Amino acid sequence: MKLFNTLSRQKEDFVPLEEGKVRMYVCGPTVYNYIHIGNARPMIVFDTVRRYMEYKGYEVNYVSNFTDVDDKIINKAIEEGTTAEEVSRRFIEECKKDMQALNVKPATTHPLATQEIQGMIDMISSLIEKGYAYRAQDGTVYFRTRKFKDYGKLSHKNLDDLQAGHRDIKVTGDFKEDALDFVLWKPKKEGEPYWESPWCKGRPGWHIECSVMSKKYLGDEIDIHAGGEDLIFPHHENEIAQSEAANGVEFSKYWMHNGFLNIDNKKMSKSSGNFFTVREIGEKYDLQVLRFFMLSAHYRSPLNFSEELMEAAKNGLERIVTAAEHLRHLLKNAPEDGPAKEETDLLHGAKQYTEKFEAAMDDDFNTADAVSAVFELVKYINTSVSENTAKETLNGFYGQLKQLCDVLGIIIEKEEEILDEEIEGLIQERQAARKEKNFKRADEIRDLLLEKGIILKDTREGVQWKKA
């Protein structure tokens, strides 16, 4: 398996630090609003990377944080007349709903920045002791960028060029030793959330948060650090500097970054009116279509979002789902006899599409080519099966299609929506069970309905229900 390492700017063979295990950190969103489709791209891309790693037999420890203390969160709280904690808590829950709708698996750990403050204070203290950081007279703690000799190795930026770019922006009241030094801890402003520290009442800088959460949940050295390409500089560059200065070892062996998402060939921005949340897209399309669209291009390529391309993705996804439905339909009345030799040969012939799929994914997770292999498999299946095809053969085709779609996070088995009359029928059955004191069956029905998103409420007027 090869992946493109931003650090070396070339494809490298993937060799994990520990055989059979992968330690992976993906920078998560800042939770001050509903996530937008730009946030969704790294979530989908790196969820698919994780799924393929697991398909290959790796045990993946996948950590993705929520940044729940930030200027944007504080501003949103002021605007709403509430607390930053309430804003972040609410939008973490909304983000998790969107991730579920996108079929993004929950991370092994979803750490929150505000719950890891002591670890940040400890790492900053260590950096001060080692001479990599200093406290300015206003209580701000800065990292000495020039002291870290490898600064710029990820973004391939030269410190002197950066210095030239910063020369004119040094402002009065800035207590930095050098214009390129960045913040590790900053003093609180009026009305902001803050924590006690040896330097001042304040809060951490953004970069130190990820360094600490990665260290706590994955260790000093990790296999893969990932995120959008907008994070390469300064966020990931600063993470490397802090982590390697504090821990004395290489921070991450491989760095992966997805390309930008444009809207109708323009950069997405609220001011341009081309800004879409995942929730808004979900009002028009099943979010499986958005996921399928995101995987239709190589993750490192820029991706253009448009209605035409979403319609094409919708049609493509329908081809796959329809093939799966057709197989399920044939299975209901399929002959129980063992497959004829021709069918066994057909099943064997289908293996070439799994091989094509794996070759694409082994080549830097080329989901575009992997999707093409799935389409070829679908065409092969459609021309190979009929009402006379043996059950064993149909199951073989279905299992192969499902396995590849599972790697891509594409759902081919939709739960049938429960109808109102079914709900009423189950409620009546539950009432009868309770009357007969068969509480076990009554609880089973309640749980069954809950699984299907139906919440029951026992009232004086009888049982009421609503969809979750």
Average pLDDT over residues 208-235: 98
Query: In 3D, which of 334, 465, 457 has the Cα closest to residue 395?
Result: 334
For 422, 426, 427, the CA distances from 419, given in Å and listed in that order, are: 5, 11, 13
Q: Identify the weakest region by mean pLDDT among 33-42, 51-60, 125-134, 330-339.
A: 330-339
CB atoms within 10 A of CB 428: 12
Average pLDDT over residues 405-422: 81
Structure tokens at 298: 């190589």
Structure tokens at 212: 């600490």
CB atoms within 10 A of CB 190: 4
pLDDT band at residue 167 under the 50/70/90 scheme: very low
pLDDT of residue 173: 47
Quick check: helix, strand or coil at residue 219?
A: coil
For 76, 84, 85, 271, the CA distances from 70, given in Å and listed in that order, are: 10, 9, 11, 21
pLDDT of residue 461: 64
Structure tokens at 226: 């990932």
| Domain locations along the chain | 2-258, 279-408, 420-467
Residue 310: is it exposed, middle or buried by C-beta count within 10 angstroms (0-12/13-18/19+)?
Answer: middle
Look up residue 20 and give its DSSP letter: T
Q: Is a pLDDT exceeding 60 seen at residue 172?
A: no
Sheet holding 252-258, edge to edge: 59-64, 21-26, 222-228, 252-258
Please provide the average confidence, as pLDDT, over all residues in the chain. 93
Structure tokens at 266: 């323009």
Q: Is a pLDDT exceeding 70 seen at residue 223?
A: yes
Average pLDDT over residues 136-158: 96
pLDDT of residue 416: 59
Q: Identify the weakest region by mean pLDDT among 36-50, 265-279, 312-326, 384-398.
A: 265-279
Q: What percent of the chain has pLDDT over 90?
A: 80
- Whether 2-258 and 279-408 share one fold: the answer is no
CA–CA separation, 411 and 261 (whole Å):
24
pLDDT band at residue 418 under the 50/70/90 scheme: low
Q: What percent of the chain has pLDDT over 70?
A: 96
Say which CATH topology domain 279-408 has.
Four Helix Bundle (Hemerythrin (Met), subunit A) (1.20.120)
Q: 2-258 in CATH: which number?
A: 3.40.50.620
Amino acid type, 317 = L
238 in Cβ contact with 230 (< 8 Å): no
CA–CA separation, 123 and 212 (whole Å):
7
Average pLDDT over residues 385-410: 97
Q: What is the residue-wise DSSP string for 333-378?
A: T---SPPPHHHHHHHHHHHHHHHHHHHHHHBT--HHHHHHHHHHHH
- Best-predicted range by mean pLDDT among 279-283, 312-316, 330-334? 312-316
Q: Is a pLDDT exceeding 60 seen at residue 171?
A: no
